[in-house]
Amino acid sequence: MALYVVQHRHDASSCPAEDPDEAAQLLNWVSRPNAKRHGIEIRAEAVPIGDHALYLILEARDDEQVRQFMQPFARVGTVDIQAASTCARVVASGGCALPIRPAESGVPALDPEEACQRAIDAGLLVHRAHPLNCETSIPALVGGQVMPNAHFYVRNHFQLPDLDPSTWRLSVDGQVERALSLNLHDLQRLPSQSLVVTLECAGNGRAALAPKTDGEQWQLGAVSTAEWTGVPLVEVLDRAGIRPGAVDVIFRGADTGIVDGRDGTVAFERSLGVNDARGSEALLAYAMNGEALPLQHGFPLRLVVPGWYGVASVKWLSQIEVVQSPFAGFFQADRYFYEWPREAGVVIEPVTLQRVRSLITEPEPDRAVELGELAVRGVAWSGAAPIARVELSVDGGAYQEARLVSERKRHSWMWWEVLTHIDRPGRHRLQVRATDLAGRTQPEQPEWNRLGYGSNAIQSVTFQVG
Distances from the Cα of 35 to the Cα of 58, 65, 230, 239, angstroms: 9, 11, 46, 58
Q: Is residue 135 part of a domain?
A: no
- What does the pLDDT average to over 51-77? 97
- What does the pLDDT average to over 461-465? 93
Answer whether residue 165 shows pLDDT above 70: yes
Q: Is residue 252 part of a domain?
A: yes
pLDDT, tens digit, 9 for 90 and up, residues 209-227: 999 999 999 999 999 999 9
Phi/psi at 84 (nearest 5 deg)? -130, 170
pLDDT of residue 105: 63
Q: Is residue 122 part of a domain?
A: no
DSSP 118: H
Answer whether residue 419 shows pLDDT above 90: yes
Assess contact for 302 and 315: CB atoms under 8 A: yes
pLDDT of residue 140: 80
pLDDT of residue 103: 65
Of the pLDDT bands very low, low, confident and very high (cuts 50, 70, 90), residue 144 is: confident
**Rounded distance, CA 364 to CA 379, Å?**
14
Answer whether residue 392 shows pLDDT above 90: yes
Number of domains in the chain: 3
Of the pLDDT bands very low, low, confident and very high (cuts 50, 70, 90), residue 178 is: very high
- What does the pLDDT average to over 87-112? 82
Give me the CATH number covering residue 78. 3.30.70.1060
Sign of torsion, CA 395 399 403 405?
Answer: positive
Do 320 and 425 share a structural domain? no
Give me the CATH number covering residue 403. 2.60.40.650
Of the pLDDT bands very low, low, confident and very high (cuts 50, 70, 90), residue 104 is: low
Do 319 and 208 share a structural domain? yes
pLDDT of residue 343: 83
Give me the CATH number covering residue 217. 3.90.420.10
Of the pLDDT bands very low, low, confident and very high (cuts 50, 70, 90), residue 143 is: low
Do 283 and 369 share a structural domain? no
- Write down the mean pLDDT value for the chain: 95
Distances from the Cα of 366 to the Cα of 143, 151, 461, angstroms: 21, 23, 8
Do 322 and 225 share a structural domain? yes
